[in-house]
């Protein structure tokens, strides 16, 4: 069965920088009919960085690259799960950034694997992660 993947911001940034190892992993997954999901938080983080640097060529590359990604916004269930997870983690004395929490919930709700170079950022959420830079 083809995989479902959410690419974290650091992975999309690596793709925009044409990192050969990442490109080959994404190409292989695409050849295997994987589905790539574009999390709104990741979209925002990439867009703001490119706009700040006025990186027009990379902006077009990003938009072209993600055109084939499945994209949907957060829904009520996403927000509720994020709030519950945040409260549970806080009670345990653990914190996670709002961005990572929302990316994690997006992947959890859509039964997707997060492809990230920062797997430890998502450990407390108990979800599947892979590092395609290794």
Domains of the chain, earliest start first: 4-130 (3.40.50.1010)
Reported in sequence order, the residue ranges of 1-134 that DSSP labels E, i.e. its strands, are: 4-7, 35-38, 70-71, 113-115, 129-130
Query: In this predicted structure, what is the pLDDT of residue 4?
Result: 97
Per-residue pLDDT for the chain (134 aa), expressed as one digit of tens each?
689 999 999 999 999 999 999 999 999 999 999 999 999 999 999 999 999 999 999 999 999 999 999 999 999 999 999 999 999 999 999 989 999 999 999 999 999 999 999 999 998 898 999 999 98
Residue 44: which H helix or E strand, with range? helix 40-53
Query: In this predicted structure, what is the pLDDT of residue 1?
Result: 64
Distance CA 39, CA 102 (A): 9
Query: In this predicted structure, what is the pLDDT of residue 69?
Result: 97
């Amino acid at each position: 069965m083809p995989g479902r993947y959410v690419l974290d911001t650091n992975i999309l940034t690596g793709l925009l920088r044409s990192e050969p190892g990442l490109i080959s992993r994404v190409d292989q997954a695409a050849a295997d009919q994987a589905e790539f999901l574009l999390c709104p938080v990741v979209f925002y983080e990439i867009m703001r960085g490119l706009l700040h640097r006025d990186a027009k060529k990379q902006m077009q590359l990003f938009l072209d690259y993600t055109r084939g990604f499945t994209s949907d916004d957060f829904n009520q269930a996403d927000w509720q799960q994020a709030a519950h997870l945040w409260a549970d983690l806080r009670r345990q004395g653990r914190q996670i950034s709002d961005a990572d929490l929302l990316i994690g919930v997006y992947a959890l709700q859509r039964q997707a694997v997060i492809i990230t170079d920062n797997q430890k950022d998502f450990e407390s959420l108990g979800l599947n992660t892979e590092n395609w830079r290794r």
